[in-house]
Amino acid sequence: MTSVAAYAAPSEAAPLEKTMIERRELGSLDVLIDIAFAGICHSDIHTVRGDWGPQSYPLAPGHEITGTVAAVGADVTKHAIGDRVGVGCLVNSCGECRSCLQGEEQFCARGAVFTYGSTDRDGTVTQGGYSEQVVVTESFVVRIPDSLPLDAAAPLLCAGITAYSPLRRWNVGPGTRVAVVGLGGLGHMGVQIAHALGAEVTVLSQTLSKKDDGLRLGADDYRATSDPDTFRALGRSFDVILNTVSAVIDMRSYLGLLDVGGTMVCVGAPGEPLPVQVMSLIGGRRSLAGSNIGGIGETQEMLDFCAEHGIVAEIEVIPASEINAAYERVLASDVRYRFVIDAATIGE
Ligand code: NAP
Ligand code: ZN
């Protein structure tokens, strides 16, 4: 075991603090990564604060990791020392079940091992990317294309793939009318990717305060959901709604924005139930769906797509000492559009 500096939550009610965590010795198929940057995802906040159920503490979050390979195990073939690499939300899975064989490791029947707060195959609890180094089995490490900077690429590892996967699955392309609800980390990736896929994109945000940014990121239209006229004017206007909101929204109003046969895909994951009137679905043969990040192969595909289209996250790089303040800003929807921790400041 090697000790590395990290920022971890000591309990669900306490702020994150600097601590030391253990990384396993390099196994034959493992890659040791010197972490350069780690994005702050709203899921980090939900998890450490217990919104999704009890956790084991101390817990270092972080699943939007970029860095360079510092060492490789004897049998590693995919990565070499010095390579620019990334790790997202997944670090292991059984590799044998139907989902794993289909490249959808996130749905592993034996339980995917998530980057933090998950029990790994060796029985230890995983610790995430708010740290100086991480050891990950090579098949869960992706390549960062040369044209993407490591800081602005970090959020692609979760926010990017979480937007990309459902947009592809629901065949978003030229002629598709897409609404992205919430212009935060996931939402601002959804707007850029849907636009690059050729769709007609509308942002539905609480206010118009970020309208200029939304249009610059590729939206064709931008509406405030605090204005009741929005829901009257846009009834039956969309084929796909990507719901990225981290809180409960009034589903009846939003489902009414779907055209006949349209689908709302929920990626936002509030801890409380989202109440749905079945009539909102029946009345327009509408579908309500969910989507969970994406598989490792699809994550590489998304990174290559972003490189080809010049897409990265809009970021605010912060020192580790500002993580707790950044959490408060994310909770207040005051993020433009992802905080990224400079890992060089973690050990300071
Ligand atoms: P974020 O940066 O905080 O963005 C969420 C956005 O939702 C906010 O910027 C805000 O946008 C809107 N919002 C927040 N509270 C709202 C409210 N009460 N009513 C209406 N809109 C509200 O968070 P994120 O990192 O993008 O994550 C969003 C959600 O997705 C979280 O629940 C996270 O856990 C989840 N997530 C899921 C997956 C998955 O695989 N399914 C992966 C990653 C994250 P406006 O200011 O524009 O209104
Ligand atoms: Zn995330």
Domain-by-domain residue ranges, the chain?
Answer: 2-155+314-345, 160-290
Per-residue b/e over 235-261, b at no fewer than 16 CB within 10 Å?
A: eebbbbbbbbbbeebebeebbbbbeee
DSSP helix/strand/coil, 297: helix
pLDDT of 217 reads 98
Of 78, 61, 58, nearest to 69 by C-alpha is 78
186 lines ligand 1 (CB under 6 A): yes
Q: What is the CA radius of gyration of the chain?
A: 20
> Residue 269, exposed/middle/buried by CB under 10 A (0-12, 13-18, 19+)?
middle
Please name every residue paired with 5 in a beta bridge, in sequence order, or none if there are none: 20
Contact 40, 313 (CB under 8 A): no
The CATH-assigned architecture of domain 2-155+314-345 is Alpha-Beta Complex (3.90)
pLDDT for position 282: 98
Q: Which ligand gives the minimal distance to the CA of 295? A: 1
Each residue's pLDDT tens digit in the chain (348 positions)? Answer: 899 999 999 999 999 999 999 999 999 999 999 999 999 999 999 999 999 999 999 999 999 999 999 999 999 999 999 999 999 999 999 999 999 999 999 999 999 999 999 999 889 999 999 999 999 999 999 999 999 999 999 999 999 999 999 999 999 999 999 999 999 999 999 999 999 999 999 999 999 999 999 999 999 999 999 999 999 999 999 999 999 999 999 999 999 999 999 999 999 999 999 999 999 999 999 999 999 999 999 999 999 999 999 999 999 999 999 999 999 999 999 999 999 999 999 999
The answer to whether residues 215 and 222 touch, using CB atoms and an 8 Å cutoff, is yes
Please give all residues whose CB falls under 5 A of ion ligand 2, grouped by chain where several chains appear.
41, 43, 158
Torsion of CA 314, 204, 294, 15, to 10 degrees: 60
Residue nearest to atom 44 of ligand 1 (CA): 43
Cβ of 165 closer than 6 Å to ligand 1, yes or no, is no
Number of helices followed by number of strands (H, E) in the chain: 11, 17
- Packing angle between helix 185-196 and helix 296-309, nearest 10 degrees? 70
Q: Are both 2-155+314-345 and 160-290 of the same fold? A: no
Q: 182 CA distance to ligand 1 centroid (A)?
A: 6
Pairing outcome for strands 84-87 and 142-143? antiparallel
Is the Cβ atom of 249 under 6 angstroms away from ligand 1? yes
Q: What is the pLDDT of residue 1?
A: 87
DSSP string, 37-55: EEE--HHHHHHHTTTTS--
Best mutation site among 42, 165, 189, 329 for ligand 1, i.e. most ligand atoms within 8 A of its Cβ? 42
Ranges of beta strands (E only) in 163-300 are: 177-181, 200-205, 221-224, 238-243, 258-266, 287-290
Q: Is the CB of 115 under 6 A from ligand 1?
A: no
In angstroms, the CA 10 to CA 61 distance is 11
Helical axes 296-309 vs 159-169, angle rounded to 10°: 100
Q: Whose CA is nearest to atom 9 of ligand 1?
A: 184
Amino acid at 301: E
Ligand 1 pocket residue status of 135, Cβ below 6 Å: no
- Residue among 151, 79, 136 at smallest CA distance from 344: 151
Q: Which CATH architecture has domain 160-290?
A: 3-Layer(aba) Sandwich (3.40)
Of all protein residues, the one whose alpha carbon is nearest to atom 11 of ligand 1 is 182
Q: How far apart are CA 50 and CA 315, in angstroms?
A: 26
Alpha carbon distance 301, 94 (integer Å): 22
